[in-house]
Amino acid sequence: MKTRLESDLIGELAIPAEALYGVQTARGIENFPISKFKLKDYPAFINGLAYTKLGAAMANYDLGLLTKEQFQAIKQACEEILAGQWHDQFPVDMIQGGAGTTTNMNANEVIANRALQIMGHQPGEYKIISPNDHVNGSQSTNDAYPTAIHLGLYAMHLEYRKHFEELIRSMEAKAKEFAPILKMGRTQLEDAVPMSLGQTFGAFASILRDEIPHLDEAAEEFLTINMGATAIGTGICSQPKYADKCTKAIAKITGWKIRKAADLVAATSDTSCMVGYSSVLRRIATKMNKICNDLRLLGSGPKCGLHELDLPARQPGSSIMPGKVNPVIPEVMNQISYKVIGNDLCVALCNEAAQMELNAMEPTMAQCCFESIEIMINGFDVLRKYCIEGIQADAENCRNYIRGSIGIVTALNPIIGYKNSTKIAKEALATGKSVYDLVLEHEILTKEELDTILSPENMIKPVKLNIKPRH
C-alpha cells in the first residue's frame, strides 16, 4: 500500500496515500478503538461538520483570510460532503477523549485534502491548504464541534418529527376504524367500564401528539450556536466581526433560523440543550412502553389471554412450541424505549461532568442523542408498518367480555338504581351468569332497553336516557 508521511506535535505517521484524512485522524483511530459507533455512520453529524466548516470559510473569505481559490476549493469540498460523498473518510470513533478534537480534525483534514485535489494538488500538501490554518481558521474544536452537533441533531429532529407523526396518524386511523367496537376498559388490570376500542387507539395517538410541542421547543435550542467562541468563549484568534458573519453564513446555508449565543463563554461549556432534547425522547419512550405493553396485553392469547386484538403475525414464535406467534414488534419497540431511557441517563450524567470552561464528555452525549433519535425513527416505522396498520379487532371477543363482565353494572346503575345493581352484581359473581342475562331474567329491563343502554354510542360518553326500571 502506498503511503504519504505526515507529522504533528507527537511525531510522524504513514498515512494511506489516497486517504483524505490525515495524521490527527490516524492518531484518533489508534487511540480510540472503543466502540462500533463510527462517525462515518452518522451522516447528519458529518453534514453538520460540513455546514460548520463552510460557514466558517465564507466568513473567513469575507474577512480576507482566504484567497478566492482556497475558498472555492473548500466550498466545493464541503458541498460534496453534503451531497453524500467522502463519508467513508470519517472513520473515527464517536466516543473519544479530547472533547471532540479528533472529530473536528477528521473534518478539517478531509476537507483540506479534498480541496487540495480540487486545486490540482496531492493530499498532504498543507502549505497550500492547511487543515488548521485554513479549514479550521478562526475556530477551535470547542465552538466548531458543538455547532456541528447542534446542526446535525436539528436535522435529525426534522426527520424524527416526520416519522413520529406518521405513527400517530396510523393510530388515529385505527381509532376511526375501531370506533363502533365496544370493549371493556380496565383499571389496575381489573374490569372497569365499557369503552370503544377506537377510544383506546385515540388515546394512544393523543398522548403521543401531546409531545410534539415539547419536541419542537427542545429542538429550537439547537439553533443557538457558539461559533466565534473559539477556545473558551473569549473569541481569541478570531476577528471582531467573524462570529456574526459565520453565524449568518450558516443560517444562509441551512435555511434555518440560526442565532449566535448571547454569552459565548457560557455556551461553550453548556451542553444542556442535549439534556433537554434527550429528556423529551425519554418522555416519548415511556409513553411508547405503555402503548406497546397494552398492545401485548390486548393481543395476548389467542385462547387463554385477552385477545381483543389480532396483532399481525410476523414470525414463528417458538423453536419448540408449534403454532406459537409472539408480539415481536411491540417487544422490539419496548427494547428501543429502554435503550433511549438509558441513553438519557448517560446524557444527564455527562452534562453534570462539565468542568470550568468546557464539557469534555460531549462526544458521548452526542453519540447517545444521535443513536436515540435513529433507533426511535426505525422503531416508529417498524411499529407502524408491521403492527399498527395491520391490527384487527376481535369484535366478538370484545362483546363477550362486556356481556360477561360485572363491570357493566356500573353503566346500568344510574338507570336501575344501586340496590338492583348490587343484587345483580352479587348474583353474577355467585352464579357465573352474565349481568346482561340476569337483568333480563329478573325483568328489570327489556332487551330493547338494555341494548339501548349498552349501545356503543351510549357507552362511550355522558348520556341522558329516558329509561326506567320495571321494579
Q: How many helices (H) and strands (E) does the chain have?
A: 18, 8
Q: Dihedral sign, CA of 166, 168, 169, 173?
A: positive
CA neighbor of 228 nearest in space, from 337, 138, 293, 147: 138
User: Alpha-carbon distance 92 to 26, whole Å?
Assistant: 8
Cell numbers placing 111: 476537507
Helix %, strand %, coil % of the chain (to 5): 60, 5, 30
Count CB-CB contacts under 10 A for residue 356. 8
Are the C-beta atoms of residues 196 and 181 closer than 8 Å to each other?
yes
Pairing of strands 3-7, 392-393: unpaired
Choose the catalytic residue: 7, 138, 269, 318.
Answer: 318
Count CB-CB contacts under 10 A for residue 373. 24
What are the strands, taking DSSP E only, across 263-402? 309-310, 392-393
3-state class (DSSP) for residue 194: strand
CA neighbor of 358 nearest in space, from 264, 276, 247: 264
318 a catalytic residue: yes
Instruction: Report in angstroms the alpha-carbon separations of 34 from 10, 97, 141, 378.
Output: 21, 10, 21, 25
User: Alpha-carbon distance 391 to 310, whole Å?
Assistant: 6
What residues have CB less than 8 Å from 256, skipping those under 6 apart? Answer: 154, 223
Rg (C-alpha) for the chain, rounded Å, is: 31
What residues are annotated to the active site?
A: 318
